Chain A
Amino acid sequence: MEEKVETVEEVTETVEEVTETEKNPVEKMKKSRDVGGIIARILIYTFCIGHMLSLLIPFAWGFITTLKSPVDFRYNMFGLPKEWKFENYLTVLKHFTIEYKTVKYSQTFTYVDMMWNSISYACLAAFTSTMAQYFVAYAAAKFNFKFSKVLDAIVLFTMTIPIYGTAASELQMSFRLGVIGNFWMVAVVTQMSFLGMSYFIIQACVRGIPAAFAESAEIDGASNFTVLFHIYIPLTMNIIATLFFMDVIGLWNSYGVNLIQLPNRPVVAYGLWKFRETNIAEVSHVTIKLAGCFIQVLPVFVIFMIFHEKFMGSISLAEGIKE
C-alpha cells in the first residue's frame, strides 16, 4: 500500500515536471547538456565577430583616411587624423572629373554632374522597370485570359534556361536600334522588361487582395483604370516601393551601363571605376579617391538605414515579399 502511495507521488511529480516543460520547451533543451551546441555556438560567435571586424575595420580605416592629408596618411596610416581634412570631400566635388571624347565632340563631367546622371538614370530606369513588371504581373494575375499562362511560362522559361554569350549580339542590336548613347532609350525603352523574380512576387501580392474590393468598385461604375490606380496600386504600394528602391540601389551601384550603352553620360560608379587610374594631380591621392567612394555610398547608406528592416525582413523564397 505504502509503495502504491509513493508511486502516485512519483507520478504527480513527473506530471508536474512535464507540465513545466510543456510551458517552456526551451527549458528542457537548456537543462540537457548539449555540449556540441555549446561548442558550435562559441565557434560561430568567434567567426561572426571576426568576420564582422574584418568588414568594419577596412571601412572604418577607409573613412578615417578620407579625413587625412597625404602627408598625414603616409606617416600616420592607422591613427586618427592630426588635422581633420573635411575639405577632401569638397576637392572631390570640385576636381573629380571625367572627360567624354569622340572625334567631333568632347565634354567634361564633374562629380556633381555624375551624381545627377546617376540619380536621373537610376530613378527613371527603376521606375520604368518596376512599373513594367507591375503592369504585366497585374494583368496576368487579374484577368483570366489564356495568354496570361503564356506570360507566366515565358518568365519561368527565361529564368530557368540560361543562354550564354549573347552580350555581343545585344550590343550589336543596341547599335542597330539607336540605343547607344541615347539616354531615353537606355533609361526607359530598354528597361521595360517584365522578366525576373519580381513578376511572381507582384503576382502573389495582387492575388492576395480580395477580389471583392474591385468588384464593389466596378458595381459603382469604376473603370479598369480606376480599379488599378485607386485600389490595387495603393494597396500594394509597399511592394512597389521595396522593389523600386532595390532597383534604384542596384542601378546606382552599377557602372556597366557606361561601358556599353551610355558612355556619354557617366554615372558616379563609372567615375570611380575610371578614377582608379586618374592622373589629375588634385585627386590622384588615396585619401581623395576614398572620399569619392564614401560620397557615392552615402545615399545608399541613408536609404539602407531607413529601410533596412523592410529590405532585410521582406525577401523570402517562402513568402515572397511580406507586406
Chain B
Amino acid sequence: MLKLKKRTRNLIFYILLIILPFCHFLVFWVGVKFNAILLAFQSFDSGVPSWAGGETSWVGWANFKEVFHSIKHLQNWKIAISNSLLLFFWNNLLTVPPTLLVAYFVHKKARLGKVFKIVEYAPSMFAIIVKVLIYQYFLEEALPYFIGKITNETTMGFISNVATRKPSIWIYGIWIGLGGSLILYVNQMNAISTSIIEAAQLDGVTFWQEFWKITMPMCWSLFALQFIVSFTGLFGNQFNLLDFYGLDADSELHTVGYYMYTRMLLGGEAGYPVLSAMGLIITAVMLPIILWLRWWADKVDPMKN
C-alpha cells in the first residue's frame, strides 16, 4: 500500500515535470510538421490570412508540380542549388582538414596552443552580424585603401564589386568557420587514453602515424557526426547571405536556404504551400541519403571494427 502510494506520488511529480515541455513538443514539433504536410496540398486564394478567417482549398499535387516546374525552367533555382552544393563541399573541404590538424596540434600541447585555441574559438561566441560587418568594412574600406596605397590605383570594395563579391563571401565562411568545431575536436582528442599514446611512442610512432593511426580513428565518430550535421543543413543553410545583404541579395548569390527563408518572409501566406511542398521534396531526397550516411559511418567506424 505504502509502495503504491509512493509510486503514485512519483507519477504525479513526474507528470508535473514533463507536462509543459511535452505539450510544447506536441504543438510546436508534431503540430508544425503535420501542418507543413497539410500546407503542401493547400492553396490560399482569398488574400486574407488563414488566421484572420481566410479560406483555403485543397489542390492535390499542384504545389509539387509548381516546384518541379520552377526547378526545371527557372535559372535562379539552378543557381541556388548549385551554390548550395558548391558551398557545402567548398566549406567542408577547406575547413575540416585544417581544423583537424590544428586541433591535433593543440592536443599535442604545442607552444602557443592555448593562445591558438582561445583566438580561434572566441569569434564563435560573437554575433554573426558583428563578424560580418567587421569583415565587410575591412574588405570594403581597409583592404582597397591598402592595395591602392601600394599600387597607386583605385580599388573597388571587394563586397560591392560584382567580380569579387562571391569569392569574398565564400571565403568568409571558411575564414570564420575554422574555429567553430576546433574545441570539440581538441576535447575529443584529449579524451584519448594517454597509455595508448605512450605505448605507441615507445614503439617509435611518428607525428603523422599517431595522427592517422590513433587520433583520427578515435575521432571518427565526431568527424562523421560533424559531416552528417553539415550535410543535413545543406539546403537549409543560407550561408551568411542574410547577414551580408539582408533580404535582397542578388540572385546570382542565392542558396536554397536563403531563397526559401526570404520567400517566406517576403511572399506572405500565399507562398507558404509551395514552400512546404518544396520542403517535403527536399526531405524526400535528403532523408534516404542521410540515413545511408549514418549507416555507412557506423559501419566503417574504425573503433567498431
A252 and B145 CA atoms in complex are apart in Å by 33
In the complex, which residue of chain A has the Cβ closest to the Cβ of B191?
A: A318
| Residue pair A166, B134 in contact (C-beta under 8 Å) | no
A166 touches B126 (CB 8 A): no
| Cα distance A102–B165 in the bound complex, in angstroms | 35
Contacts of B235 in A (CB 8 A): 164
Comparing A1-9, A23-31, A86-94, A106-114, the segment that makes contact with chain B is A23-31
Residue from A160, A165, A253 in contact with B260 in the complex, judged by beta carbons closer than 8 Å: A165
Verify if A55 is at the interface (C-beta below 8 Å from B). Answer: yes
* A40 contacts B by Cβ under 8 Å: yes
A53-71 interface bits toward B, Cβ cutoff 8 Å, 1 = contact, 0 = none: 0111011011001000000
Q: CA A39 – CA B188 in complex, angstroms?
A: 25
Residue of B nearest to A295 (CB): B130
Residues of chain A within 8 A of B260, CB atoms compared: 165, 167
With A and B bound together, what is the CA distance between A88 and B13 in angstroms?
A: 54
Min distance, Cβ A125 to any Cβ of chain B, angstroms: 13
Encoded as 1 (CB less than 8 Å from any B CB) or 0, chain A from 268 to 308 comes to 01001100110000000010011001001100110010001
B31 touches A164 (CB 8 A): no
A269-B129 contact given A40-B207, A163-B283, A165-B279, CB 8 Å threshold: yes
- Residues 1 to 45 of chain B near chain A (Cβ within 8 Å): 9-11, 13-14, 17-18, 20-25, 27-29, 31-33, 35-36, 39
Is B138 an interface position by the 8 A CB rule? yes
> Across the two chains, which residue of chain B brings its CB closest to A277?
B246
Residue contact A272 to B187, C-beta cutoff 8 Å: no
Distance A194 CA – B98 CA, assembled complex (angstroms): 34
Interface string of A183-203 (1 = CB under 8 A from B): 000000110111100000000
Q: Is the CB of A304 within 8 A of B202?
A: no
B25 cross-chain contacts in A, Cβ below 8 A: 154, 193-195
Also in contact, A190 and B28, with CB within 8 A (given A29-B205, A58-B138) = yes
> Is B74 at the interface (CB under 8 A from chain A)?
no
- Known: A44-B101, A170-B32, A293-B130. Is A189-B279 also a contact (CB below 8 A)? no
Which of B117, B135, B208, B279 is close to A164, meaning CB atoms less than 8 Å apart?
Answer: B279
Question: Does A172 lie at the interface of the complex (its beta carbon under 8 Å from any beta carbon of B)?
Answer: yes
Cα A47 to Cα B35 with chains together (Å):
49
In the assembled complex, the CB of A151 is this many whole angstroms from the nearest CB of chain B, namely 7
**Contact between A163 and B279, CB atoms less than 8 A apart:** yes
B35 touches A173 (CB 8 A): yes
A158 within 8 A of B: yes
Q: A1: shortest Cβ distance to chain B, in Å?
A: 35
Cα-based distance from A147 to B15 in the complex (angstroms): 10
Whether B24 and A193, one on each chain, are in contact in the complex, defined by CB atoms closer than 8 angstroms, is yes
B227 within 8 A of A: no
| B129, B178, B232, B260 — most chain A CB neighbours (10 Å) | B129
| Given contacts A173-B31, A272-B130, A26 and B187 within 8 Å (CB-CB) | no
Docked pose: A151 CA to B293 CA in angstroms: 25
Given contacts A165-B280, A224-B10, contact A36 B138 (CB under 8 A): no
Compute how far the CA of A317 lies from the CA of B210 in the bound complex, rounded to whole angstroms.
21
| A286/B208 contact (C-beta < 8 A), A48-B112, A172-B35, A172-B272 known | no
Out of B18, B112, B133, B207, name the residue touching A34 (CB < 8 Å): B207
Contacts of B277 in A (CB 8 A): 165
A54–B102 Cα gap in the complex (Å)? 15
Residues of A within 8 A of B280 (CB): 164-165
Residues A290 and B137 in contact, CB atoms below 8 Å apart:
yes
In the complex, which residue of chain A has the Cβ closest to the Cβ of B273?
A168
Q: Which residues of B contact A304 (CB under 8 A)?
A: 122, 125
A290 to B138, CA, bound (A): 11
Known contacts A160-B294, A163-B283; decide if A315 and B184 are in contact (CB<8 Å). Answer: yes
A77 to B261, CA, bound (A): 37
Among the listed B39, B117, B145, B278, which residue makes an inter-chain contact with A172, where contact means beta carbons less than 8 Å apart? B39
Instruction: Say yes or no for A171: interface residue by CB 8 A criterion.
Output: yes
B134/A136 in contact, CB under 8 A? no
- Rounded to whole angstroms, the CA-CA distance of A36 and B235 in the bound complex is 40
User: Can you sample 10 A-B contacts with CB below 8 Å?
Assistant: A40-B207, A52-B120, A135-B21, A163-B279, A164-B235, A172-B50, A194-B25, A286-B141, A296-B130, A316-B184
